[in-house]
Amino acid sequence: MLLVLLLVANGCNRSPDPNPAAVLELGTYLFFDVRLSGDGSISCATCHKPEFGYGDGQDLSETYPASDGFRNTPTIVHASSSTSFYADGRLSNSTPSDVILDMIGGKLFLNVHDVLLTERMKQIPVYDSLFYAAFGSEPTFDHLVTALEHFQASLTPKDSPYETGMMSASALRGEALFQGSAGCASCHSGPTFSDGQAHAIGVPNNASIATDPLRLSALRLFLKEKGVDDFMTIDSDPGRYVATGEESDWGAFMTPSLRQVADTAPYMHNGSLGTLEEVVAFYSDRGPALSETEQSDVVEFLKALSGTISDVFVPEMPDYAVSPNWSEEAN
């Protein structure tokens, strides 16, 4: 906020080159601002809460008001390292900015038109100053998306016990199992511990998707928009089938990242497993079977993949205001 006040006092030092610190500050404001949604009631932080590792701590997500979600909210920590997004992988070979665009305009997400959103920003003097500080221009939609992408990219903690080499003896044993006989690494590999592929593994159903009218109606709207036939008869999530239309992909879901997994319970695409202990037991029951001690060791390794997320200063949201010289300024 200090940067904004200085800019207002000095008439905005309008550099044409992006200022990384100012871009990040702008992205922080935008992430927490409910005016990024159509009706001004939800923000990015409604579902991606810092205190839950930028998940939301619920089994199924919230959505745009008057409906409810049918999938678990994924963390956005380390998402800048990913190229495949959503549990159905419908945005593959993509970038975080592609997801941001989808979230802003999606009927079940923020549900706001880009022109309306940009015009809102122009009616808020503090945002006008922030955009000029960051990009040397008045608010634009492209710059708004870039600022949000920069905020997301800042969520990349590097101090996890796994990365610092400070894992406990139990976690080290768990890593050996994870990479070896337990078979976890056959799907959970790479920098985000995901192979970027879809798998059908028999995750238990979350009954509320079929029994909660708001969740079921949201699912069916989503399926209709994605061109799924007979969407009105479907009461469970088809998963990857939504993106491919291949029967073999029905009920398959993308391998999620394990970064920051200690903070993002509950788990699986539908939030049906509440703890890491339940997740490891689920896989052990499917085989290869692990002893209780081995399961505990794998859990400790999973916890070691989480680092410290820096506290984020949540700014006070600036008000709309009319410029005193509005009649003399170019639009």
pLDDT, residue 168, reads: 98
Which tens digits make up the pLDDT trace of 235-273? 999 999 999 999 999 999 999 999 999 999 999 999 999
Which tens digits make up the pLDDT trace of 56-115? 999 999 999 989 999 999 999 999 999 999 999 999 999 999 999 999 999 999 999 999
Q: Does residue 328 have a pLDDT over 90? A: no
User: Rounded to whole angstroms, how far apart are CA atoms 253 and 257?
Assistant: 12
Percent of the chain surpassing pLDDT 90:
89
Q: Does residue 15 have a pLDDT over 90? A: no
The model's pTM? 0.91
pLDDT, residue 117, reads: 98
Distances (CA, A) of 127 to 2, 69, 131, 215, 280: 13, 31, 6, 35, 46
| 2-156: CATH number | 1.10.760.10
**Which pair of tokens denotes residue 2?**
């200090």
pLDDT, residue 13, reads: 45
- Write down the domain spans for the chain: 2-156, 161-197+260-307
**Which pair of tokens denotes residue 299?**
């859990």
Considering the four listed CATH numbers 1.10.760.10, 1.10.275.10, 3.40.1380.20, 3.30.565.10, the one that applies to the domain covering 161-197+260-307 is 1.10.760.10
pLDDT, residue 229, reads: 94
Crossing angle of the two packed helices 125-135 and 114-122, in degrees rounded to 10: 100
**Radius of gyration for the chain, computed over Cα atoms and rounded to the nearest angstrom:** 22
